[in-house]
Amino acid sequence: MTRIPMTPAGFARLSAELKELKEHTRLKIVRDIEEARAQGDISENSEYEDAKHRQSLCEGRIMELEGKLGAAEVIDVSRLKQDGRVVFAVTVVLEDLESGEQVRYKIVGTDEADAKAGLISLSAPLGKALLGKRKEDEVTVETPRGQRSFSISDVLYR
């Protein structure tokens, strides 16, 4: 089985979503289906069709989350060997070699990625380019704005 790397925060977020779907969303949808059935003929009942569609989406997401959580390999950065290399779950401070601007990214799993929040996936082009590098190494990556080069200013294990 393929393991899915995940930070403790990412695992907690997906677990909370799964709990919400199972304990609240699923039950609300069942009530909606019952109410729609009580209205009589379901063959032309749009509320019934909508509720059945939402039920299908909900059950699909539950299965997806159960699979991901079951395959999760939770990696706690505080337990990693701090040898200065960029690995999963570390925070990397980068300097754009063209503009001099500094940015900070945490390397996370694909389900946790949110570039605007400073979370980049280890499978994203920049994430891949950074893995294994050390402080003061340079990386060049193709971005939507063209090729960009960065220098690693710091690797933080927190």
Structure confidence at residue 132 (pLDDT): 95
Structure confidence at residue 143 (pLDDT): 82
CA distances from 26 to 12, 23, 61, 147, 157 (A): 20, 7, 11, 46, 39
- Dump pLDDT digits (tens) for 118-153: 999 999 999 999 999 999 999 999 988 889 999 999
Domains of the chain in start order, with CATH, are 4-74 (1.10.287.180), 77-156 (3.10.50.30)
Structure confidence at residue 1 (pLDDT): 64
Which value, to the nearest 10 degrees, does the dihedral of the CA atoms of residues 145, 149, 154, 157 take?
Answer: 60
How does strand 146-156 pair with strand 138-143?
antiparallel
CA distances from 145 to 52, 55, 120, 142, 149 (A): 43, 40, 17, 8, 12
Residue ranges for the chain with pLDDT beneath 50:
none
